Amino acid sequence: MNTAASAWAGRWPLAIGGAVAMFLAQPPVDAWALAWVAPIPWLMLVTQAHWQGTLPWVAVWCGGFLYWLLAIHWLILPHPPATAIGWGLLSAYLACYLPLFIWAARRLVHHWRWPLVPATGVAWIAVDLLRSEVLGGFTFAGLGHTQWRWTTFIQVADTIGAVGVGGIVMAGAAAILATIYGRFSRRTLVRETLLAVAIIAATLGYGSIRLATAPMPVEKPFEALIVQGSIDTEMKHDPDAATQVLAHYDELTTSGLAAAPTLPDVVLWPETMWRLGLVEIDPLKELTARELNEILGPADGDEPAEDRQARARKLITAQRLDALAVYARRYGTPWIVGLDRQRITPTVPAGYQSFNAAIVLAATGAPLACYDKMYPVMFGEYVPLADRFPFLYRLTPLPGGLTAGTEPVAVTLAGYRVAPTICYETALPRAIRSIVRRLDATGRRPDVIVNLTNDGWFWGSSELDMHLVAAIFRAVEVRTPILVAANTGFSAAIDGSGRLLARGPRRASGTLRVSLSPDGRHSPWLTAGTLPLGVTLAVVAMLGLEWLVVTRLAPQ
């Protein structure tokens, strides 16, 4: 075997070994301490001196592909075989970020002569930042997420986000490798080891200060009853599902309320657990005579046509709200519940708009606010361009797509401002940051964020763990407690320091009676967001420009 072929073959064990080690650091194995050494096989690829041709990059991409196939294996569960195809395609796309990381780190080390620690830290942050933004962003299974239990360490997320935390872990792994390679030489200790130690020490020092200055619990905290049913979700339509789900959640709620002598400040149900939905008819939509008669009965001849149209539209909405009000009055306290909302309108080609919504009801049953999910999931909740070309949905298992909401909502309950969010919005750092910033700009910064989600699609898999960890990092980033109500789990209460105060069971029913105090501390992340991390992107962009000029555009 020639030298080039031998080197290419030798890269496969490193690429595959790194993939397996990185997977073991993530749920379901969740060997979180392993994250500090798991990237070392990939970092060894960075340090190798000579790469020729495209074959080494094939090995690297395959390592990334294997990692993502393992890490997001749960994606095959919701609707096979369609989601199995999506699992493979998404893994193939995410695998492209590993060669980009290796390439950027190699350019910094071998061409710019950077030490390994800053080179790999900068390259990893830049690539992870791209992954969290491009095509709507995908943040699950991040390297920084493995450290959620180390509360002191993750406090720095309010400055550099979960992506930055991952960069520090990568720098630590690089320091271990550099120290081994340098055999504790003075040069290595100064350029690599001490630099990583200083970064980690500064991170822990910052975390200690932030924890020491966390607000004390208030005398009257915000109390919530989180209701977690356990109903596995399938895409097929079951005409009896609405009744079964309602009975299941109502029984859990009434028993949870009866277990305490006082009522909570709010009852929380997960996403779409009220299956009857709401219907609104646009005033521009004119109902037919037959539709009016079905809704109102025969006309008496004296009512103006416009009034009759308006009365029918109002009655359709009121009937659905009245059903909700019955349960809200029974519970005797405010209630936030997820449901579908449909708006019949002639202004869109499909003739209607569908929203994934969270409605807030007073103890009297009166609606206080309705939040429409602002960040639906691409290909999971909508197909790009299908609002103009509805036939695209016939190519997918989706019956139709969601319309994105346009405004965040904050409603005052028991003196606290509560902002609802839905499902994977807690997986997107920019989504939660944008919601909090927009509310803060109008003097309504939330004291508590509520996330309603239905993870029953994933049958108790490690998706539940990854979704919960995402919420923990969002709480730290925006310094706001988060309450999660999740069908099948994990329901949770998280304070503004990212501490997990309570957690529901996995794929089982239960209720959580929790108390939270507001945080409200200043968060640099709220002010600057990813702007400080953008420096790493600028460095990688300069690498790309240099490579283009030197290798492609320079005269031969």
Per-residue model confidence as pLDDT tens digits over 92-146 = 999 999 999 999 999 999 999 999 999 999 999 999 999 999 988 999 999 999 9
Can you name the residues that pair with 512 across neighbouring β-strands? 226
Assess contact for 484 and 492: CB atoms under 8 A: yes
pLDDT of residue 33: 97
pLDDT tens column, 433-486: 999 999 999 999 999 999 999 999 999 999 999 999 999 999 999 999 999 999
475, 482 Cβ separation under 8 angstroms: yes
Is 189's pLDDT higher than 60?
A: yes
Give percent helix, percent strand, percent coil of the chain, each to the nearest 5: 50, 15, 35
Structural tokens at position 56: 């080494």
What band does 534 get if pLDDT is binned at 50, 70 and 90? very high
Answer positive or negative: Cα dihedral of 59, 105, 88, 34. Answer: positive
Q: Torsion angle, CA of 425/203/491/321, rounded to 10 degrees?
A: -40
Q: At what angle do helices 40-47 and 3-24 cross, to 10 degrees?
A: 150
HEC string for 117-147: HHHHHHHHHHHHHHHCCHHHCCCCCCCHHHH
CA 156 vs. chain centroid, Å, equals 19
pLDDT at residue number 381: 67
Rounded Cα distance, 454 and 308, in Å: 39
Q: Is 219 exposed, middle or buried (0-12, 13-18, 19+ CB in 10 A)?
A: exposed
Q: Are strands 482-487 and 222-228 parallel, antiparallel or unpaired?
A: unpaired
Sign of CA dihedral 227, 231, 235, 240: negative
Cα-based angle 37, 39, 45 (whole degrees, multiple of 5): 125
- Full-model pTM: 0.93
User: Stretch 167-185: mean pLDDT, rounded?
Assistant: 91
Give the model's pLDDT for residue 510.
96
Find the helix or strand (DSSP H, E) in which 247 lies. Answer: helix 241-258
Tens-digit pLDDT profile for residues 213-223: 999 999 999 99
Name residue 43's amino acid. L
- pLDDT at position 382, please? 67
d(CA 258, CA 250) in angstroms, rounded, equals 12
Q: What are phi and psi of 436, to 5 degrees?
A: -65, -40
Residue 344 contacts residue 295 (beta carbons within 8 Å): no
Is the separation of the CB atoms in 195 and 117 below 8 Å? yes
What span, in angstroms and rounded, lies between the C-alpha atoms of 288 and 131?
49
- From first CA to last CA, the distance across the chain in angstroms is 31
Backbone φ and ψ of 391, nearest 5°? -60, -20
Residue 1, pLDDT score = 35
How do residues 373-395 score in pLDDT, each as one tens digit?
999 987 666 666 556 666 555 55
SS3 42: helix
Q: What is the mean pLDDT of the chain?
A: 91
Residue-wise pLDDT for 62-104, tens only, equals 999 999 999 999 999 988 887 888 899 999 999 999 999 999 9
- Percent of the chain whose pLDDT exceeds 90: 73
Give residue-wise pLDDT tens across range 279-305. 999 888 888 778 777 777 787 767 787
Cβ neighbour number for residue 515 with a 10 Å cutoff? 16
Contact of 483 with 504, CB cutoff 8 Å: no
| Sign of the C-alpha dihedral computed for residues 209, 429, 341 and 86 taken in this order | negative
235: confidence class by pLDDT, cuts 50, 70, 90: low
Record the tokens describing residue 52, joined without a space. Answer: 């020729």
Enumerate the β-bridge partners of residue 266. Answer: 224
Long-range pairs of 376-385 with CB within 8 A, sequence gap ≥ 24 = 376/401, 376/402, 376/403, 376/404, 377/136, 377/423, 377/424, 378/135, 378/136, 379/86, 380/424, 381/356
**513 pLDDT higher than 90:** yes
Contacts of 519 (CB under 8 A, 6+ apart): 214, 215, 479, 480, 481, 495, 496, 497
Residue 380: what pLDDT?
66
Q: Which residues contact 436 (CB under 8 A, 6 or more apart)?
A: 419, 445, 446, 449, 478, 480, 526
Average pLDDT over residues 17-32: 98
